[in-house]
Amino acid sequence: MKFTINRETLIKPLQMIGGIVERRQTLPILSNVQVSVQADKLILVATDLEVQMTTRTDIIDGIEGEITIPARKFLDICRALPDEASIVLSADKNGKATIRSGKSRFTLSTLPAEDFPRIEAQQDAIHFEIPQGTLKYAIDHTQFAMAQQDVRYYLNGLLMEMTDDVLRFVATDGHRLALCDIAMPESVEPYKNNENQQVIIPRKGVLELSRLLEEDESPVQVAVGGNFIQLKTDKLEFVSKLIDGRFPEYQNVVPVNSDKKVICDREVLRQALARVSILSNEKFRGVRLEFSPGSLHVHAHNPEQEEAEEEISIDYDGPNLEMGFNVNYIQDALLACETAQVQLMLSDPNSCCLIHGVDDQQCRYIIMPMRL
């Protein structure tokens, strides 16, 4: 196998698959990237047995074949070469790969390509096509609420729910919930027994998708099977195994009878919370919100008996109400909202708070109260 390629052409796909390769692997070959030359294309594949990415790039010329070489060393070598450098990679029968560029030469060890594990996507799947920017928007506006290393493993991922007309993404860590709805693409090819299909994409797969998807209208083809999700664009193919578990009945925690509506300037509230949170308890991050007609008082204190207080104007004409929340959760929700004003729906001190943009309920955020 041998190919010639420009440094700038090679470095981007290498960086894309670099996030898949873990530094510590149970199998040595998982630290490698599979390098294949087919016709005038260079195909790179990386996997950690949970997620897998394949990229295709044009080459100047090449001889067909395939090997696996250490992924991070390959990327570091390419990064260290001068801009616009021409790179020639060749492999011999003695298990060595040689990288040449100008007067530089590097020899890397290889492992057989036939030993490289692959995640195979099954044929029986739901297929649809959606703009990359739309999918990225939904993921970016919910993924921050996923749990991290929770023993309830099904929370360490993002729920994707498919109905006849809505594609919904939901994330929760048990204390807050983020929900985003987008229109279900018309080009859906369902398979039998498909009612409301739910799948849970693992955390690593979600973060990689957020990094890889472009903020434009170029299409991405999605296939969802019983234990995998596959996304294809012109230049890459991404496959992730799904979490085998039952996501909580999230609909039960979405407030429907909240009778107290608060409207306020999103940025004013966010900045007030940022200032007050400086003196909040570093462990619990609790702040107390006191709502009264026309104004909101925000309080925080810590074990050192230090206190902070802010007052902002709000649009509210209900009775006085006092509630405690984790300030980080409110700030995350406010950052995810994109309208100038936000709406908070409340009922009593022991009930959830629903946050969304004024006249925009595409993305909604539910936060559990806390005792202070």
pLDDT per residue over 202-237, tens digit each? 999 999 999 999 999 999 999 998 889 999 998 899
In this prediction, residue 319 carries a pLDDT of 96
Asked if 223 and 172 sit in the same domain, the reply is yes
Range of the domain at 194: 126-251
How many distinct structural domains can be found in the chain?
3
- CB–CB of 30/94 below 8 Å? no
CA angle 180, 182, 186 (to 5 degrees): 155
Asked if 131 and 239 sit in the same domain, the reply is yes
**Domain presence at residue 121:** no
Three-state SS at 120: coil
| Domain's final residue, options 251, 275, 298 | 251
In this prediction, residue 193 carries a pLDDT of 47
In this prediction, residue 196 carries a pLDDT of 66
Asked if 258 and 240 sit in the same domain, the reply is no
Asked if 208 and 242 sit in the same domain, the reply is yes
**Domain presence at residue 306:** yes
**Domain presence at residue 182:** yes
| Domain's final residue, options 67, 93, 115 | 115
Q: Kindly state the DSSP code that residue 227 receives in the 8-state scheme.
A: S
Asked if 230 and 270 sit in the same domain, the reply is no
Asked if 106 and 10 sit in the same domain, the reply is yes
**Domain presence at residue 130:** yes
Asked if 234 and 262 sit in the same domain, the reply is no
Asked if 237 and 264 sit in the same domain, the reply is no
Asked if 203 and 311 sit in the same domain, the reply is no
In this prediction, residue 197 carries a pLDDT of 87
**Domain presence at residue 25:** yes
Asked if 140 and 246 sit in the same domain, the reply is yes
Q: What is the CATH number of the domain that holds 298?
A: 3.10.150.10
In this prediction, residue 57 carries a pLDDT of 95
Asked if 18 and 71 sit in the same domain, the reply is yes
In this prediction, residue 186 carries a pLDDT of 79
Alpha-carbon torsion, ordered 131, 132, 138, 139, to 10 deg: 150
**Domain presence at residue 120:** no
Asked if 258 and 203 sit in the same domain, the reply is no
- What's the predicted TM-score (pTM) here? 0.91
| Domain's final residue, options 115, 134, 160 | 115
In this prediction, residue 235 carries a pLDDT of 86
Kindly give the parts of the chain with pLDDT less than 50: 191-193
Nearest residue to 236 (alpha-carbon basis) of 73, 31, 14, 80: 14
In this prediction, residue 192 carries a pLDDT of 44
